Amino acid sequence: MTAPDVDVVIALHDLTRPVARAAASVLDDGARGGADGAGGGGGDGDDGRVRVTIACHELAPADVAAALPTDLRGRVRLLEVRDGLASPSGPFNAGLDAATGRYVAIMGSDDYLEPGAVRAWARRADAAGADVLLAPLRHQSGEPIPTPRVRPGHHRRLHPVKDRLAYRTAPLGLLRRTVLDEHGLRLTPGMRAGGDVALTVRLWSLPVRVDLATRAPAYVVGADAHTRVTTAVRGVDEELHAWDHLLRQDFFAALDPAWRRAVAIKAVRIHLLGAARRRPRPEMWHDGEAAWLADLTRRWVAVAPGVLTPQARADRDLIDVMLGPSTGADLAAAAARRARAGRVDQVLARDLAGNLDRESVLRHYVALRLPG
């Protein structure tokens, strides 16, 4: 086959996942003509100008094929991946290594695309000369996922700090393959969750054009699987492993200070605080986890000046306990208090400077109410 316009890689580790829905949502778009109106099909996954590769992680391709509807079997490429690791990074990287299209995209087997998504994304990326075309996201319930937190009305040539790209660690949409290959960008091997964190933090720091495909068909995060590898509850150290790993990378220390601060604020606000807030009972904390989290929190706070400045008052109260020395019981009690915090304490920072900061919760909510 000739090289496709878009290579879409779907990682599959469990035959019970709705991978047929995922693949069909891509191919039903591509079969109508892809980016240039060409049709076609073939047993190696060529369907118009879009190729779908199902990376079969610790699964026999024959078993995957047997589980697919008959009309899909000849329209996807099945790639066997065996690395013995419980991580989606391996199959995604194998699919990226096998890609030849101008653009690549990665996709979870639980997820799917709205009709016409790939064609619309490719058309926009081509017209703009974008290196990355970020897809709009929504939950299966229909609720939009507002990431990244761009400036109102600003959707082209996104700035990593001003458009808060730190809030988009999932590189969902189209990525120019040559950019990934030139910079050696792949998901972090072996990472059970967060394998895309280091990749995107590096990618957003590069001199590449990043656009957001507003009002285009969306990438839909599926919710009907019983469990997702990336959202299952695990130990604190495993849950936050990607953020511990990022701090240890040489490239991260060399980033522009403003970008490093933006990443740190998001890491603390979303991931470290999130891990604590999900554990409001003492039995949810295991031996050594409070001390481990305190060390990680201190290191993230020290990454750049003012990491704590824009955090909301309720979050600052919990962070104070996270910084320790604290026990699991202390953290559970603080997390429970955070859950009972009033709206004002959840939004306002402790002082005026914090509320005026670009990264403040207050400014985020004001921006959400402005025309996009």
User: Crossing angle for the helix pair 328-339 and 289-301, nearest 10 degrees?
Assistant: 60
Of the listed ranges 30-39, 147-156, 214-223, the one predicted with least confidence = 30-39
Q: Is residue 231 over pLDDT 60?
A: no
Contacts of 256 (CB under 8 A, 6+ apart): 205
Summarize the confidence of residues 48-75 as an average pLDDT.
95
Residue 229 pLDDT exceeds 90: no
Q: Judge whether residue 119 has pLDDT over 90.
A: yes
- Percent of the chain scoring above 70 in pLDDT: 91
Confidence of residue 367 (pLDDT cuts 50, 70, 90): confident
Residues 150, 327: Cα–Cα separation, whole Å: 38
Report DSSP letters for 34-61, one per residue: TTTT-----TTSEETTEEEEEEEETS-H
Domain boundaries, the chain: 6-221, 236-368
The amino acid at 84: G
CA distances from 213 to 122, 138, 249, 252 (A): 10, 13, 31, 28
Residues 40 and 48: their CA atoms lie apart, in Å, by 5
At 245-294, the pLDDT tens digits run 999 999 999 999 999 999 999 999 999 999 999 999 999 999 999 999 99
pLDDT for the residue numbered 36: 34
CA distance readout (Å), 245 to 27, 51, 196, 242, 299: 36, 33, 12, 5, 12
Give me the pLDDT at residue 233, please.
60
Token pair listed for 51: 């190729």
pLDDT at residue 167 in the model: 96
* Mean pLDDT, all residues of the chain: 92
Residue 125 has a pLDDT of 97
Contact 169, 187 (CB under 8 A): no
Tokens of 226: 């019983």
Compute the average pLDDT of residues 218-238. Answer: 74
Confidence of residue 370 (pLDDT cuts 50, 70, 90): confident
CB 273 within 8 A of CB 317: no
User: What distance separates the 2 farthest-apart alpha carbons in the chain?
Assistant: 63
What is the per-residue pLDDT across 170-213, written as a single tens digit (0 to 9) for each? 999 999 999 999 999 999 999 999 999 999 999 999 999 999 99
CATH class of 6-221: alpha beta
Among 28-37, 86-95, 142-151, 306-315, which is the least confidently predicted range? 28-37
